[in-house]
Structure 1
Amino acid sequence: MKTSWRSASLVATAAGVMVFATACGQDNTTTPSSAAQNVGATAPAGIGSITNPSASTGAANGYGADGSQASSSPAAVAPAGKLTIASNPDLGKVLTDGSGLTLYRFDADTANPPKSNCDGDCATTWPPVPAGDATAGAGIDKSLLGEVTRSDGTKQLTVAGWPMYRYAKDVNAGDVNGQGVGGKWFATAPDGKKATLAALPGLSVRKDAKLGDIIVDKNGMTVYRFIKDKAWPKVVSNCTGDCLVKWPAVAEVASSDTKGIVKKGLMGFTRPDDGAKQQTVNCWPIYTFSGDTKAGDTNGQGVGGTWYAVSPEGKLVGAPSN
């Protein structure tokens, strides 16, 4: 932060508008119109369409990330074959089957004794891996491989006691679309433990296949901006009340705890509605989205025509005008 920047001061209006004087501009308090706040619960047709964030998710019903059942695929009955170890840039070493498809474990299961609690529709989205011909490939301890008898009498592969599954939405070898779904499904490490995301800084940059370079938080969750907020010549957050339930404010992050983010305008401010510290990038307040259930999701992109992912410079990504 340049030494010529002025320290932040806060002014709250009766409408709960957040305004502060920083390097972002002078302290000019204005009250937005009643239409200024747009929670963005519904995306315009064809842009960022999502399921209701309050709907049941994989954490509750064992389905996919959006609570829907995935269609059956050949992977549902394919043999395990020789298990292999794949290297994932985010998760490190991940266990895969003979076709290169990622193997997952379910937190609702138990390993001692082994027991699968994914049946019916859950097992359609998360096909159990047959135990029959499974063998240990290079680097895998064959003593960790076992089996459990499912409720339908079939034998399911276990690794270190944990029942193994594929994810019906993984199409290609190396896909890890099931990682973190519902907060209960995780790719399996070669020792049977969860493969987890490497530690991330408070804010960093992720290359998204569709959006390019975007900012993510310490959990790998996509960061968004609200186009009805303001940064120049004053900073204003127009997301309050119910809006903050759907779009939680990103807490203040130390400048030293960021990677790849442009430092200018990288600062926090105190929200007058609840006293919490919120982070800004290029003086724009930033948020996450309750409809994103796992790292890498971008379900908030374009929602309501007002919410967009953020570039490392703090610009809106993919907005009609920036």
Structure 2
Amino acid sequence: MRTRVAMLAALVATGVAALTACGGGSTAGTPSAAPAGGADAASSVNFLTGTAQQNGAPQNTGDFADPSDTEAAEQWVELDAGSAGDLNPVVLNGKGFLLYRFDKDSPKPPTSNCNDDCAKKWPPVTVKPGGKVFLNGVDRNDVGFLKRQDGSLQVTIGNWAVYRFSGDAQPGDTKGQGVQGTWFGVTPEGGKAEASKEGTDPTTGVQYKTGTAKENGADLTQGDDYKGPRTDDAAMKWIQLTRGSAGGLNPIVHDGAGMTIYRFDNDKPKPPTSNCNGDCAVKWPPLLVKPGTRIFVNGVPAAKIGVVTRADGSRQVTLNGWPLYRFSGDKNPGDINGEGVGGTWFAVSPNGGKVLPKGGAPAPSSTPPASSTTNPPSSTTPPPGGVTLGNGSAILDSGINFAEPKGSFGVAGPGCVANPQPSLVSSIQLSGGPVKLWKGPNCTGQSMVITASVPDLSKIGFDKQVVSIRFGDK
């Protein structure tokens, strides 16, 4: 322990990388609060944030495999939050087929009572030990497993066993909904799916429609895909709110163009109030609507969506009372450059909550609360998005829980630092954070801010994938 603490101190002082050849011991650190990623203790199933395609799953396996090829089919399962028909929110598999729950099963303890002929009509969603579950809008904390009569491992959501329906021929079919009064589409929390609120809200004049903009035939040169100012009428033709994931954060809400949606801690939900005006609203464009605007809901409960009048008279979409924004620093779908900015801006969850950075607690604010966001101190240079990074150091360990079966590496700022051997790093002990992890060289590619030590990088989707790390520049 003394050796490793001394090593951290030396790295901070010298700002150079060092290699240790220590044995397999471990060191206590601040645990990560990240819920997604890692292996389930009972089943050794690996959890990864994002879709199977985003994670490079092999073709003709998992949800895309021939059902008769059990070995290939059980390699992975994707749980994707969204909508199907008039049902919203629901869970779909990677191919877009609705997943169901059965009232005659039991959640306490999780038990399946659908076997033999029943299981042929309602194929259970199974995965083999050592397989993978890809989570896109479904919270890791709501996913589990049960052992079936035949010994196979069935996925549960909210402790309810989940199934497909053999009568659903096409992605998005809902033919199993309500069968025998016991079968229902499953929600991301394990509840029974219901038809979503649709039609025009008489108070706001905003129209609600279940599904995506594309599914509903919206003009994709307008709305979320519009390239001009967000205050233009064309930009307010439609908005899509989709439950999904981005940059290791899950579940979050993004729009129809795949851009992450944020909330601001200095706003208020009761009554809904936006305190981001002037220059702040230029940096963080609010989601604006007008009478006639269509809001497409895809995995986000329509009942939690509202509208608040802003200081300038425009009207802004809210989620569970929290006003919603985009971030001008996000340039591409899936960017999360606004996450943790100033310790007050966070990706919004499907229920209006804030999604914390994967290192655990939010980065502390470097400025007092204000109605507009200011620049961080000049003592460090923030990455795109404005998170103020620390000029500290990190020990990159080759085992989880800071063990060192193949040694460990020390790195330190300032600036972007290469990881000498990315394929060996499974945990990080951090001093003087936050820092930003990158999957590409020279701080490029997919990234994530961490604010504390991470004992298991697979829990945040970065196991053996940290290629470079950005510290503060000074």
TM-score band, normalised by shorter chain = 0.3 to 0.5
Bigger RCO (CA 8 Å, 6+ sep): 1
TM-score normalized with structure 1 length? 0.46
